[in-house]
Structure 1
Amino acid sequence: MTEFETERTMPAGADAVFAVVSDLERLTEWLPHEIRVRPTHDDPGSDPARGGGDVTEVHAEVEPRHVDAHGLVRVRPEQMRVEWGGGDSTDYAGYLQVMGDDPDRSSVLLHLSFLGDQPETHTGQASDEVRRGLDTGLENLARMLAERAI
């Protein structure tokens, strides 16, 4: 298992940040351009109170591989948290946690776990790309919030 984590201060309060990151239709506005996530539908048997969520399609061109997958995303407003994982696979999961009480500033923690023997679990290009992607995503989010494009 390999875990990646990064945290960044955001130029907006936690409620404003969570409104952006929990809107699955807006993910492409701040995710790295190599990663495209598209909500497809609600999980048919999902009950959000019991961990249900939205089914998504993920397309990623992150060297050295190409990913086309379905996943499950759970938005947990009571925790200011968005969680996701592979729909058909248990070898990948992540979460984004928004924290803060200041109305003009908050913090976002972005965490990814690779649980199998994927290229990202080894040192080298794939793990370097994951680290860059985490940093780029949070930089894009901070820039978007600073420009008040929310």
Structure 2
Amino acid sequence: MSEYERSRTMPALPEHVFDQAGDVDRLESWMPPELHVRAGDLPAVTVHEDATGQDAPALFRAEPEQMRLEWGTREDGSYAGWLQVAGIGSGASEVTLHLSFFDEGHDPGAETVHAALESSLERLEEQVRLRVDDGG
């Protein structure tokens, strides 16, 4: 099993960050660009990966009272992740993004995963900034 985690401070209230991150119709605005999520009957979703051209059944859950998102593969249990938003005062938030690969064959490697985590957090911060600057 491999686990990866990155955190980033964002200049917005945790509710704003969570609302942006947890909107299933806007996941692609911050997730890696090669992944595309189609919502089914939540928590069921389908994830299309450009690299393989395949669709994978997955789960996506938003827990607003905990400011937490959770996702993972639905059938084979090879992959899971979560995003946690926490208020840190002065209108700022800390966002932690965590990925777990339970099947080593699905782990693309530390360098690739760390780059994807950083890029996703940067993209989420940009989306949050745009939303806050536009007044919500």
Place the TM-score, normalised by the shorter chain, in its bin: 0.7 to 0.9
Give the Cα separation in 2 of the matches to 1:35 and 1:96.
17
Asked if structure 2 preserves the Cα contact closer than 8 Å seen for 1:119 and 1:127, the reply is no
| Alignment check: 8 A CA contact 1:9 1:108 kept | yes
Instruction: Show structure 1 runs of 5+ residues with no match.
Output: 43-53
Say if 2:100 is the partner of 1:113. Answer: yes
> What does residue 120 of structure 2 align with?
137
Runs of 4+ with >6 A deviation: none
Local SS of the residue matching 1:141: helix
The aligned counterpart of 2:40 is 40
Cα distance in 2 for partners of 1:113, 1:67 equals 20
2: distance between equivalents of 1:12 and 1:114? 30
Matches within 5 A, 1:70-149: 70-102=57-89, 104-120=91-107, 126-148=109-131
**Amino acid paired to 2:122:** E
Tell me how many residue pairs correspond in the alignment. Answer: 133
CA distance in 2, matches of 1:85, 1:32: 15
Identity %: 39
Q: 1:15 to 1:73 in 2, by over 3 A?
A: same
Q: TM-score, normalised to structure 2's length?
A: 0.87
How much is the aligned-residue C-alpha RMSD, in angstroms? 1.8
Q: How far did residue 101 of structure 1 move?
A: 4.5
Alignment correspondent of 1:56: 45
Equivalent residue of 1:90, what SS? coil
Q: Conserved in 1, the CA contact under 8 Å of 2:57 and 2:73? A: yes
- The Cα of 1:128 is off from its aligned counterpart by 2.0
